[in-house]
Amino acid sequence: MKAFIFANGEYCSPEPPPEIQPDDLVIAADGGSRHCLSVGIQPDILIGDLDSTAETLVNQWHSSGVEIIRYPQDKDQTDLELAMLAAQSRGVTEIVIYGAVGGRLDMTFGNLLLLAHPDLITPVTLICGNEEVHLLHPGESLTLQGKPGETVSLLPLHPDASVVTTQGMQYSLSQENLVFGYTRGISNCLIKPQATIHLDEGLLAVIHTREENPEVN
C-alpha cells in the first residue's frame, strides 16, 4: 500500500494522479484538501491545524467518513510533516507527495528538506509537474525509468562529500565525490530507458525531469 499526500502548494491538473489504486492511502495535509475536492478524490485522512481548510469542508469530509486529525495552530511541525509521519505510522511501503511546491518559498524549501527527516524511513517521492524528487541515504540505490535525453540532476545535501556511482547516464560517476555547495551534478541525462544511482556516503537529492507530465497522463 502506498500513501498519496496532497499538500497546500500547486497541483494544476484537473485529474487525480493516475497511479492511485483503491487500496492506497490518501492524505490531505490541511489545504491540500482543496486539491482532493477539485479532482474528485475523498481522502482517507485530513490532518493539520486546518487553518487552510474551510470548516464547512472539514464537516463535509467528516460526514463522509474521512478521519480528521486536528492539531493546534501553535505547533512545531508543518502540516506536511505531520502527514508524512502519519502515513509512515500506517505501515505504507512508499509515500508520494503532490502539491508541495509553489506559493511561499520558505514552505517550498522546507517541504523539499522534509525528505531528509531523521525519523522518516519510508521511501518518498515528491512530484511537481513533470519533475520527481528522490532522496538517497548512504548504501541506497535508486533505479530510474524514463526516456533517453531526460534530465537527471544530482544534488549533494551533506556538508561532507557525497560518494556517487551511476549507470545509464551521459556523465557516468564511479564512486566520485559530489561536494555540497557545488553544481557539478546538475543537468546529467539518461542515455538508456533505465539508469541506476548508488550512494556510498553522504546525502543526495535526485531530481528527474520527464518529458511528459505524470500529473496529467
10 Å CB burial of residue 51 (0-12, 13-18, 19+) is: exposed
Dump pLDDT digits (tens) for 149-203. 999 999 999 988 899 999 999 999 999 999 999 999 999 999 999 999 999 999 9
In the chain, what is the straight-line distance between the N-terminal and C-terminal CA atoms, in Å? Answer: 21
- Band (pLDDT 50/70/90 cuts) for residue 14 is confident
Q: Give the pLDDT score at 211.
A: 85
Share of the chain above pLDDT 90, in %: 87
Q: What is the CATH code of the structural domain delimited by 2-128? A: 3.40.50.10240
Residue 62's nearest CA partner among 50, 77, 74 is 50
CATH of 135-209 given 2.60.40.1180, 3.40.50.12780, 2.60.120.320, 1.10.10.10: 2.60.120.320
Q: Give the pLDDT score at 216.
A: 46
Sequence ranges of the domains in the chain: 2-128, 135-209
Q: CA 9, CA 188: separation in Å to the nearest integer?
A: 27
Q: CA 130, CA 113: separation in Å to the nearest integer?
A: 19
For the entire predicted model, the pTM comes to 0.90
Output 217 or 131, whichever has higher pLDDT. Answer: 131
Rg, Å, the chain Cα set: 18
Q: Which helix (H) or strand (E) element contains residue 158?
A: none
Is residue 200 within 8 A of residue 163, CB to CB? The reply is: yes
Q: Give the pLDDT score at 150.
A: 96
Is residue 83 within 8 A of residue 47, CB to CB? The reply is: yes
Question: Is pLDDT of 214 > 60?
Answer: no
Cα 168 from chain centre? 23
Q: CA 119, CA 154: separation in Å to the nearest integer?
A: 23
Q: What is the mean pLDDT of residues 31-43?
A: 93
